[in-house]
Structure formats: structure tokens, C-alpha cells
Amino acid sequence: MRDHGGNLDQARARFGGAAAEWIDLSTGINRVCWPVPALPPDCWTALPQAGRQADLIEAARAAYGTQAPVLPVAGAQAAIQMLPQILPRGSARVLAPTYNEHAACLRAAGWQVTEVATPEALAGADLAVVVNPNNPDGRCHAPGALRALAGQVGRLVVDESFCDARPDLSVAAWAGEAGLVVLRSFGKFYGLAGLRLGFVLADAGLLADMAARLGPWAVSGPAQVIGAQALRDRDWQAETVARLRQETLQLDALAARRGWTLAGGCELFRLYHTPDAAAAQDHLARARIWSRIFPWSPDLIRLGLPGGGAEWARLAAELA
């Protein structure tokens, strides 16, 4: 098993407690989710409908500011796993450290994978991967620079799973040009990761190949309905971005009181330097607050943002 956040079962096995007692801050998932309304009964009882799929695609195009072809998938992870399987094998370079599924899925599919530290080192690869904003450090890349990079590699995959609060960083408007592939996650910003919904934006030929392999019902009926409605809810989106930006400052202040220093992050998570990340995680876990540490760093700890006043109060007490 690869190392990931969201592994609350492991936390409970080690530290005890019922699931309801825990605050899971080990992911970058918004803990104040989009308010799901009552759904049409037939989205549960009937097969996913082509009309609803088309409506979801149009809502995604409008939300992401693009006219590129769009393919809904069962979370961005589904695309991360599929792309290495259907593209011709060759050399892949991944801007790292980053979300570990990119390099792992490429290696599993037989690619020669090199993890590099700078965008310039991606040039010349058959396939290059950039996460923007990056997970876990929040590193950002200018859209113009990424568009230029797309012309220097065979294909450029830009994972924009944390881009909803930073639309100014998106290259979605250019998806499909010069082999540019854009991945979007729905579940993180909208706080509905269990729905398993994401999108691939790319040239029509690549998406047709992916769609043929996925089959006729790649996403569920509820995902079609919820996704389309949430993507069109501009008031909730604006209010959520404003709240997240204020709360990142609040979390940074709490961490500073503990003596941690900011190492990076974005609107959905923060990364801090600590004297001992494992000890910091254990301290929070004894209070039933789960965080994320990394096997490649002894001092970095990542926290998502709490959801609501009670969660903030518990975290503040432990960081005091």
C-alpha cells in the first residue's frame, strides 16, 4: 500500500476511538462540504443517463473556463491510473515531491520514471507531470510557463486537483493543445470525495480512447446530478474561497503558537516544519486529530482545515 492521507482506519487501530470521535485533517478535502439537496429518485434507480452526462460536461466546461473536450471519470485518480496504460510507453518525468500516485502508476505501467526538482528538468520527456498547486507544498506554476512547457514534451499532464480556489493558475482553457492534458478533482474543493468524481480535459482522440475503455457508465447517476448542480453554484464557490483563505491564516497562527513554521500549502491544506513530525502526529492523534506526515521527511507535517467551530476549538487546544 502506498502512503496516503485519509487512512483513518490505521489511526484508529493504533490510537483507538470510534470513527465519530476523530477529526481527519490528513487530507486536503474541504470539511465543510457543498450542501447536497434532495436528489431525483431515478438517479439512484436508473442507469446513468446520457443527457445528464452532457449536462455535467457543460457545467464542468463553464466552471473551468474551457471549451476543450471533457471526460467525467470516477475521481482524478481514475485518470492517473488509466493514462499510463493507454499512452505509448517511454520516458516520464514527474515534478517532485508530489502526489505519489503519479510516479507509482507510471512505473506500474512500464514507464521509465524520473522524479525531478525543477520544471526545466521536465523538458524532453515523452510524458511530464506537474501538480499545480502542488501537493503537499503548495508550489504554484504560472499558466503561461506551463503552456510553453507543453511544447517541449511529448505530453504534459497538469493535475489541477487543488486549483478550484486558484482559477488564475489553471491551464484548462488550453487543454488539448500540444498534448496538454488537465486533470480536475471534484471531491476535494466540494468536500464530497466519496462521490468519486473528476474530469479529464484533453484532445478529443485521447478522451475517445479513454471513454471506450471506461465503458458507458463511468460515473454514477448521483455524481452526474450533484456534480452539475455544485459546479454551477457560484455563490457557494465564492463564499467558500473567501472562508478558506481566512482560515488558512487562522491555522498558520495556531501552528506558529506551537512553534511550527510554514513550509507551504494552499487553500485546502497547510504544510509545516516541526522539530519532530512523528511526535507531533502522535500528540494530535492522542486527542483524536489525525494529520499527515511523510516517509521522506522527518520534520514535515500537513494539516487540512477543520470544519466548524467545535473542530477548530479542539485543534486550538492541542496546539496551544
d(Cα 162, Cα 159) in Å, to the nearest integer? Answer: 8
Output DSSP code: residue 239: H
DSSP H or E stretch at residue 109: none
Quote the pLDDT of residue 2.
Answer: 82
Our CA angle for 57, 224, 4, nearest 5°, is 95
What is the per-residue pLDDT across 186-232, written as a single tens digit (0 to 9) for each?
999 999 999 999 999 999 999 999 999 999 999 999 999 999 999 99
Q: Say what the pLDDT of residue 264 is.
A: 98
Q: What is the mean pLDDT of residues 100-110?
A: 97
pLDDT at residue 1, rounded to an integer: 65
What pairs with residue 272 in β-bridges?
262, 301
**Mean pLDDT rounded to a whole number for the chain:** 97
Ordered structural domains, the chain, with CATH: 8-33+235-319 (3.90.1150.10), 41-232 (3.40.640.10)
Sign of the CA dihedral with 235 first, then 241, 246, and 248 last: positive
What's the average model confidence in pLDDT over 116-125?
A: 98
pLDDT > 70? residue 295: yes
Spatial distance between the Cα atoms of 236 and 238, rounded to a whole number of angstroms: 6
Q: How far from 117 is each of 46, 95, 98, 121, CA to CA, in Å?
A: 48, 6, 10, 7
- Phi, psi at 269, each rounded to 5°: -160, 160
- The string of pLDDT tens digits covering residues 241-278 is 999 999 999 999 999 999 999 999 999 999 999 999 99
Burial class (CB in 10 A: 0-12, 13-18, 19+), 47: exposed
CA distance 162 to 267: 8
Residues 265/182/39/238 CA torsion (nearest 10 deg): 50
- In the chain, DSSP finds a helix count (H) and a strand count (E) of 12, 13
Q: What is the mean pLDDT of residues 165-177?
A: 97
| Percent residues over pLDDT 90 in the chain | 98
